[in-house]
Amino acid sequence: MNNFRKLPSGESVVQNLPWRWGVQGKIFIIGGLGFMFDAWDVTLNGALIPLVSAEWGLDRPTAAWLGTANLIGMALGAFMWGTIADKIGRKKAFTWTLLIFSLFTVAGALAPNFAWFVACRFLAGVGLGGCIPVDYALVGEFTPAKQRGRVLTAMDGWWPVGAALSFFISGWVQATTGNWRLILAVMVLPALLVFWIRRGVPESPLYLVRQGQRDEAAKVIDDLVKRTGAPEQQYTLPDPEEAPRLSAGSWLEQLVKIWKFSPRITMTAWALFLTILLVYYLALTWMPSILADTGMAQSTAFFMTAVMALMGLVGVVIAALLVERVGRKWLLGITGPLSAIILVLVAMSLNAPSMALAWLLVFGVVVQIAIPVLYAYVSELYPTELRGSGFGWASSFSRLGAGFGPLLFASLWPIVGLANLFLAAGALVLVAVIMMAFFAPETKGRALQ
């Protein structure tokens, strides 16, 4: 009789540890703070555009380059940092993203002219653009398998927090000092604090194995076992050449693989990401300017946009409650186009400010029902080996679209009108939803590949 029992892998040991807030929960919070700063920085574009326009006498299309450069930088950073993490490890990549962001944010606060400022916002975006893919990867690697779905979904809750903080603090600084450069300086202080805290995050055992540091990888795993109170057990570690990479290969290799897997699914994923997030970024980028144009004080416009963003927490909770009951496709099919329609109603109600603000708060809820569902759905459309790259490419494509979308929006705003532009954005969402209906499956209750 053969009594040989195959030892579990070190990776499976980590994935089957009990959840402890002092261990995996700490990594979730630190990773979530990086996600929060990503939201804060993207949202900051909407606060800075009217302020730098006033200082340097810019028209809207010129000022829009501020947001465009920042989002293009983030898209580039999302490409770069997965590969960089393969070279230097997730822990170092995790830390350097915020440090680079902080350095160029400070440089932006000292910018003598608009061109210098746009360049700094681009480079800050390159740094922070790595936060979402690196943070998701690190949190996912250390989170037990049973809790991973809920934990990664909960990461989305950091986004409305960051967006709201951005506008609240911008409004407070503007109202008390009138100096937009201090908005950047205030933002850097907590970012540097998170940079310091991130030093306590353990390195990825898979990275350590690939570097031939098997003893160090074992120490990370043994420490996690000890701190979570799990029973000690023997396990195996793969050979360096067999350990999975942190990223799914070069960007070109990723692109070929996801399109080869299914052109229809990839086209649908990109369309959904591009159009739904375009609607959200249009609101974040231009709502303070839209409200200020109605005669509202700039600080009050920031405050109301912050409340809109904070209402997204309600949307995230609703999404979590409904996603398994209603299904991904139905929720996206309803809330995606509906969010754009609500923005049309905001634009049509600007002469009645109370009504416009009420619709704005509704938008904050509805759009944040769609976005977490979108994140979950697109990642579920791909098999395990393509899940990260499939999601990453769709996300990066949306950043490019969201970068150039507000720029086009600023040029067309005086010509076709605000309501018509939001209506056009809604039509694009509707096209993406129709593509989803015909080209992509429902993933509710389906075993992942």
CA distance 150 to 248: 24
CATH of domain 9-247: 1.20.1250.20
For the chain, give every residue range classified as CATH 1.20.1250.20.
9-247, 248-449
Taking residue 412's Cβ as centre, other Cβ atoms within 10 Å add up to: 15
Contact between residue 164 and residue 306 where contact means Cβ atoms under 8 Å apart: yes
Three-state SS for 72?
Answer: helix
Cβ atoms < 10 Å from Cβ of 137: 22
Tell me what pLDDT residue 2 has. 41
Residue 360 tokens read as 């704005």
In the predicted structure, residue 244 carries a pLDDT above the cut 70: no
Per residue in 133-150, pLDDT tens? 667 777 878 888 778 767
Residue 104 is encoded by which pair of tokens? Answer: 């160029």
Rg (CA), the chain: 22
- CA separation for the pair 319, 335 (Å, rounded): 10
Q: What is the pTM of this model?
A: 0.85
What does the pLDDT look like over 394-428, one tens digit per residue?
887 887 777 888 888 999 998 999 999 999 999 99
Over the chain, what is the mean pLDDT?
A: 87
Q: What is the DSSP letter of 203?
A: P
- Eight-state DSSP code of residue 237: -
DSSP conformation letters of 79-123: HHHHHHHHHH-HHHHHHHHHHHHHHHHHHHHT-SSHHHHHHHHHH
pLDDT mean over 356-367: 96
Q: How far is C-alpha 342 from the chain's CA centre?
A: 23
- State in words which class domain 248-449 has: mainly alpha
373 strand-pairing partners: none
Q: What is the pLDDT of residues 58-113, one digit of tens each?
A: 999 999 999 999 988 988 887 777 677 767 876 777 678 878 888 999 999 999 99
